[in-house]
Structure 1
Amino acid sequence: MLYWSQETRAFIAEVPELPGCIADGETYQEAVQNAEIIMQEWIETAQELRREIPTPRTPSILA
């Protein structure tokens, strides 16, 4: 999910499948790039802690 936050004056990228996985950026593209980094770090941390990694959901438009 990507949206503009007036409060922080930044684009916010949230990954609902990965609790707490949120990134931001001054541009839409920067927020997406930061989200990709944060997703990888989230997964690596979950693996280190032996936590379950959720299966990605297929968007309903593609299902």
Structure 2
Amino acid sequence: MKYTIVIQWSEEDKCYVVLLPEFTNIMQPCTHGETYEEALKNAQEVLEMLIESSLADGQPLPEPKTLGNAFKVA
């Protein structure tokens, strides 16, 4: 599944913070990193844990958001 990962610099926290907008049942931001790459790695790990946990508990996964055809390349 393809979920949205938002990574933004937080001047207040002096690090990159990560939001997973489809997962509304968790505290956001859900992880962070000192570098963009570290934040992305941490985001992927949290996403994997959320998916595994939902499946193990028999909970439905949120529907991934898409941009549709707004940015379709010709």
The alignment's TM-score, normalised by the length of structure 2, stands at 0.71
Q: Which runs of 5+ in 1 are unaligned?
A: none
Bigger share in helix: 1
1:48 counterpart letter in structure 2: A
2:60 is matched with 52
Match of residue 8, structure 1, among 13, 17, 25: 13
* CA-atom RMSD in angstroms: 1.8
The separation in 2 between residues aligned to 1:59 and 1:31, in whole angstroms, is: 23
Q: Which runs of 5+ in 2 are unaligned?
A: 1-5
Report whether the alignment pairs 1:23 with 2:31: yes
Q: Percent identity?
A: 29
How many residues in Structure 1 have an aligned counterpart in Structure 2? Answer: 63
